[in-house]
Amino acid sequence: MTILLPSIMALITLACVRDAVNAYGVHHATVAPTIESEIHDHPLTLFGKLISFTCDCCDKEGNSMPYLCGRNCGFWVHHNCASLPRMVKSIRHKHPLNFTNSIEGDDSEQRLCQLCVKMVDTNHGVYYCSRCNYVAHLDCATNKEGMDETFMQKLKGKDPIESIIMLEYEDLSFDGFTKEISYIVKRTEGEDKIEMAIEIKHFGHEHDLKLTKELENYVICDGCIQPIFPPFYSCAQCNFFLHKSCVELPTKMRHPLHQHPLILRLRRPKLGMCNACSCLSNGLTYVCNACNFSLDVSCSLMPERLTHDGHKHLLIFSSSTSTEKCSACNSESKIFRCSKCEFILNFKYATLPHTMKYEQHEHLFTLHYTVEDNSSEYYCDICEAERDAKNWFYYCVDCDYLAHPHCIFGYAKIDKEDF
């Protein structure tokens, strides 16, 4: 591509920008003749004609009025790319990410964006944390829903030197959130400086809860709405049960699915929908009242990197905004993506319990991931509807009885009275 001298570019800009604005309806505010870009060392000048070009920042084709470097660098970029910030902060990573035109010394052909879990070309513009070797697509790192609003507000107006100081920034004192417990210890027992609370007052129940170390019957935790296991806390008067781990949940948390801090609440008696798995729940829930956003306990505790019995490879939470279907149920929702193959798992199926009790069946059901027979037809023995052989299912080995997960579990995570 022929590089234009600065004086020629200036003449083109002055003569053509106004014509382009009139002809194509481009707003004056979007076509500043010269801009100071945060991602390039020199001023960028608008090329005042619509042309086809390849952006030197994102490596995507453009058919618009690009900005180009006035110092003969041969640097051509989209308007949007020219406006990218030099530094961003994702809610999913503890350090800021810096824009870089390429990652020096990186000859890997298999680099994954840590936000969407798709391939990324590190020979062109990316956002990068050199401390952690953490890389992200430009679009993924600048997605407003995933950016740390507080950090980005602090960054506004900072010069490059001040921005470097902010590299020491740590996530909004997130660790302080985990220290705020949701219960008061009433009595303890133990020896050798190892004590355990045997009676507590939890915000989610009116009576004191006592520690139980043995399980006599199949019961459901009123917090996460999953089968309970010892040790757990209970109120015998009300048949209220909480896993020890659910009792110890912090009252506030940060989660990669949402920008703002989430507060722990008990839904009961009302129902609320989880924004991760789309299930209704009346158990413990983390909520952001300002955004009407909520996560049930099971989804809130899911790690960003997941090892699941249903798949042999590591699964990573994906912030991708594209619509993709879960490999376990063929539905669309928030997903974990395999780091090595095309397998996708949504939050609902990632949080299914391994064993489940169905009220009209005497035995426990176990979650299965593949069909072991060669039958040409597959049906759910509860609803008697045909089911997809590729989808996960619950199975009673004693009765050779198969069922859809939603027929066993339902579309809601509701307390034990409904199981």
| 27-46 residue pLDDT tens | 444 568 889 999 999 999 99
Is residue 196 predicted with pLDDT exceeding 90? no
Q: Report the Cα 406 to chain-centroid distance in Å.
A: 24
Which residue in this structure is represented by tokens 């509701």? 414
pLDDT at residue 170 in the model = 46
If phi > 0 it is left, if psi is from -120 to 50 it is alpha, else beta; for residue 169 that is: beta
- The SS3 assignment for 236 reads coil
**Could you tell me which of 265, 387, 281, 337 has the C-alpha nearest to residue 118?**
337
Q: What percent of the chain has pLDDT over 70?
A: 80
Q: Is the pLDDT of residue 12 over 80?
A: no
* Domains along the sequence of the chain with CATH: 6-82 (no CATH), 87-169 (no CATH), 305-350 (no CATH), 355-412 (3.30.60)
- Tokens 């070797």 belong to 133
Kindly tell me the sign of the dihedral angle through the C-alpha atoms of 99, 102, 108, 111.
positive
- 99 close to 87: Cβ distance less than 8 angstroms: yes
The predicted model gives 289-297 an average pLDDT of: 91
> Which stretch, 29-33, 169-173, 323-327, 394-398, has highest mean pLDDT?
394-398
Q: CB count, 10 Å around CB of 169?
A: 17
- Determine the Cα–Cα distance for residues 234 and 14; give it in Å rounded to an integer: 76
- Using DSSP's 3-state secondary structure scheme, residue 52 falls into strand
Q: Tell me the pLDDT band of 7, cut-offs 50, 70 and 90.
A: very low
> Taking Cα atoms as reference points, which of 70, 59, 82 lies closest to residue 13?
70
Give the mean pLDDT of the chain: 82
pTM: 0.76
Give the DSSP per-residue string, 250-283. Answer: BSEEEETTEEEEEEEEE-TTS-EE-TTT--EE-S
Q: 105-149: per-residue pLDDT in tens? A: 766 656 899 999 999 989 899 999 999 999 999 999 999 888 887
d(CA 26, CA 212): 69
Distance CA 279, CA 410 (A): 9
